[in-house]
A = this chain, B = another copy of it.
Amino acid sequence: MEKLPNSEVRNKILQAAQELFLAQGVSHVSMRKIATCIGYSPTTIYLYFENKRDLLSALIQDYYSDFIMQAEEVMQAQDVCPKASLRAYMMLFVHNGLSKPDYYKLMVQLFEAGESYDNSGSHGQQVYSHLKILVERCIAAKLVCVPNPNIAVQAIWTVVFGLTTLLTIRSGFIWKEHEVLVNHTIDTFLNGLFINTNKEQ
């Protein structure tokens, strides 16, 4: 039951699925719809992807890879103040989600539906290790004092996750000025995290 390798058809499927998913939402797009959209029978899709979830997963892989590439750039900038790096990373995370809200939604849907955190889990762990390095740089520079860097990382994660998810999912709510809210939330949190150094100023 080996899946067929990359091919023109496979790419057509991915492209059609992407367009339809983003236009109508994952749950409103059936395998048949995708198939007829590209002029193939529904079963053809199963030659290239195990199932609908796998197809969605492949799509998100691309989105996530994009983010990781940008994230690596932030990580490279060693000369910048660690606090600024951390802030830049958080901003990147949020803006990446906000610039592709539907993709971010798909991602959340995926690991919400998924019992385990399959492929995208490795990406998640990469973000985690990025954040941990950034936090440890801050600790090394004596900019911040936390008992356990993991706790700090997880707190940071919840903040950027909360921002991105709420702004993408409930975009119709009140948040008119995304930029203002994002800045204020991140800065307030970082102020709290770096309070030890702020006091001395």
Which A positions have Cβ atoms within 8 angstroms of B?
A: 27, 105, 108-109, 111-113, 116-117, 124, 128, 150-152, 154-155, 157-163, 165-167, 169-170, 172-175, 180-181, 184-185, 187-193, 195, 198-199
Contact = CB atoms under 8 A, between A and B. Distances in A.
Contacts of A162: 158-163, 165-166
Interface of A is mostly: helix
Number of copies of chain A assembled together: 2
14 contacts: A105-B112, A109-B112, A117-B172, A152-B184, A154-B174, A154-B175, A155-B185, A157-B166, A158-B163, A159-B159, A160-B162, A162-B163, A191-B191, A198-B199
A109 B112 CA distance: 9
Contact of A159 (B154, B185, B195): B185
Contacts of A188: 155, 189, 192-193
A67 B174 CA distance: 22
Nearest to A162: B162
Contacts of A124: 173
A168 to B, nearest CB: 10
A187 B192 contact: yes
Contacts of A190: 192
A111 B154 contact: no
Given A170-B117, A172-B116, A181 B195 contact: no
Contacts of A151: 180-181, 184
Given A151-B184, A159-B162, A162-B163, 5 more contacts: A109-B112, A117-B172, A155-B181, A158-B181, A189-B192
A188 B196 CA distance: 11
A195 B185 contact: no
A112 B192 contact: no
